[in-house]
């Protein structure tokens, strides 16, 4: 089982699951959320509207995750998670860790072997990249260690800028020197 980091576009990753840093409405937004909705095509929005009309009428809670098909993405599925927003006072690292672990739980439930995650909450939601990286990498490492029999074999953090990549590389080095960053 490996944890990797890469600078790139999460919508172009050849993985089973891409994780969307969604807002609770699941109806698209800016940043990673908007990019995934654009790349997946209009059927993703329809699937999210269906979730809202049926199982999630109040929206997806912070730290939880839910899956939809990937539609026009290379990934077969999109797992949506809502990160904590520091600007709204959501500063509990446990909520951010739950985004990672809940997403990996859902991915494992789908039988996914490879999962690409963004830097949840490290953009518009105001979390410092180093803190977000430490929490996310620690949560991924703990999940993988605790789920050795899971289908999930690779967790790839796909980062949007060199400084965020550096933060995740530093956290990865602190959590397991056997993991290698993909380039």
179 is catalytic: no
pLDDT in tens, 1-24: 899 999 999 999 999 999 999 999
Per DSSP, the three-state class of 9 is coil
Distance CA 180, CA 159 (A): 15
pLDDT in tens, 33-81: 999 999 999 999 999 999 999 999 999 999 999 999 999 999 999 999 9
Domains and CATH numbers, the chain: 2-175 (3.40.220.10)
Distance CA 62, CA 85 (A): 9
Q: Which of 9, 16, 33, 72 is catalytic?
A: 33
pTM: 0.94
176 pLDDT above the threshold of 80: no
């Amino acid at each position: 089982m490996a944890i990797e980091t890469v600078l790139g576009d999460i919508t172009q990753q050849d993985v089973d699951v891409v994780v969307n840093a969604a807002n609770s409405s699941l109806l698209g937004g800016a940043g990673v959320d908007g990019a995934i909705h654009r790349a997946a095509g209009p059927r993703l929005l329809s699937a999210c509207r269906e979730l809202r009309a049926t199982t999630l009428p109040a929206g997806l809670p912070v730290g939880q995750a839910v899956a939809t098909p990937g539609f026009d993405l290379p990934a077969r599925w999109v797992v949506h998670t809502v990160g904590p927003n520091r600007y709204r006072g959501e500063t509990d690292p446990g909520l951010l860790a739950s985004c990672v672990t809940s997403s990996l739980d859902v991915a494992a439930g789908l039988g996914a072997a490879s999962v690409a995650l963004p830097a949840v909450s490290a953009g518009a939601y105001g979390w410092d990249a180093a803190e977000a990286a430490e929490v996310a990498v620690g949560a991924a490492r703990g999940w993988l260690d605790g789920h050795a029999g899971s289908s999930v074999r690779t967790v790839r953090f796909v980062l949007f800028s060199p400084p965020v990549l550096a933060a995740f590389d530093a956290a990865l080095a602190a959590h397991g020197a056997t993991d290698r960053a993909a380039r």
